[in-house]
Amino acid sequence: MCGIAGYSLSDKSAVDQTLATQTLLAAISERGSDAVGYAFRGPGLPLVVHKQRGGASALLDALRVPTRARQVLVHVRDYTKGHPSLIANNHPIRHGSVVGVHNGIIANDEEILERHGFGRAEPGMTVDSEAIFALVDEASSRPAALEEVHGSMAAGWLDEREADVVYVARGIGRPLWVGEGRRELFFASTREALELVERYADVRLRKRELGEGTLIVAGGGRLLRAESFEPDRTFVEESLLPPVRAPEEARSCLARLAAIATAGAVAR
């Protein structure tokens, strides 16, 4: 069970990008501690990816997102396939022009890669999530491509061929929440993460759980469109993983987040 989150901001949004990203990271920190990472881009900014072994607490203070960033992805990993000792297996994952994050298990990843003739993005990669981003890279994020996936999925991705757009999709078996503000759109694995964003980023969000078989496209801090696909509902996990995988990470990160926010408020 991993955790994913991210956002799209309007250039008129007053949200502090670093604090918002730290808030999302702290909020999902309990969902995995094998690896942690984030990605961002914006006008005049290339798509930057940072990822490392360990839990969110090792990254929270060092995390920095430029004020020009408009799209961000965040991930904490509780790995099932693709050992985290190989950094390429950790998220955000790049395949072609796509960089994405995923929560879930893909059971037919090797079949997808072989059927389409997709090569692994980096030598030694075995992570199952790459199959999702290979599919959407080839299909230019058309939702029907996700119907090939046999497994559980909540995912978000950026495509370098499309500026100012974030894709967010939910298949089956994993939660995904969306929060819309006046100039912001956030997504996260839990409703509580969006509530924490409201508290620390000083925004009001209309929160809803994304339905299974839904792909949304966000840009400029707002929902641009929503599309449907038919996920493979025959997949059944052998054992259900608990959502809280690293409670010590949550305690540490939430306490540190409160201190960071307090210090920032005093400085202002």
DSSP per-residue letters across 102-158:
EES-BTTHHHHHHHHTPPPSSTT---TTHHHHHHHHHTTT-GGGGGG--B--EEEEE
Do the strands 35-42 and 71-77 form a parallel or antiparallel pair, or are they unpaired? antiparallel
pLDDT of residue 242: 76
> Please, which pLDDT band fits residue 1 given cuts at 50, 70 and 90?
confident
pLDDT at 232 over 90: yes
The one-letter amino acid code at 52 reads: Q
CATH number of the domain at 55, please: 3.60.20.10
Mean pLDDT score of the chain, rounded to an integer? 96
Residue 62, classified by CB atoms within 10 Å of its CB into exposed (0-12), middle (13-18) or buried (19+), is exposed
Q: DSSP letters of 80-114?
A: SSS-TTSGGGSSSEEETTEEEEEES-BTTHHHHHH
Domain boundaries, position 214: 3-267
Mean pLDDT of 244-256: 93
> Domain total for the chain?
1
For residue range 84-139, what is the model confidence (pLDDT) as tens digits? Answer: 999 999 999 999 999 999 999 999 999 999 999 999 999 999 999 999 999 999 99
pLDDT at 268 over 70: no
Percentage above 90 pLDDT, the chain: 92
For residue range 11-27, what is the model confidence (pLDDT) as tens digits? Answer: 999 999 999 999 999 99
pLDDT of residue 164: 93
pLDDT of residue 152: 97
What is the C-alpha to C-alpha distance for residues 194 and 35, in angstroms, rounded to an integer? 22
> Please, which pLDDT band fits residue 265 given cuts at 50, 70 and 90?
low
pLDDT of residue 266: 55
Mean pLDDT of 147-157: 98
pLDDT at 236 over 70: yes
pLDDT of residue 237: 85
> Please, which pLDDT band fits residue 261 given cuts at 50, 70 and 90?
very high
pLDDT of residue 144: 97
For residue range 47-90, what is the model confidence (pLDDT) as tens digits? Answer: 999 999 999 999 999 999 999 999 999 999 999 999 999 999 99
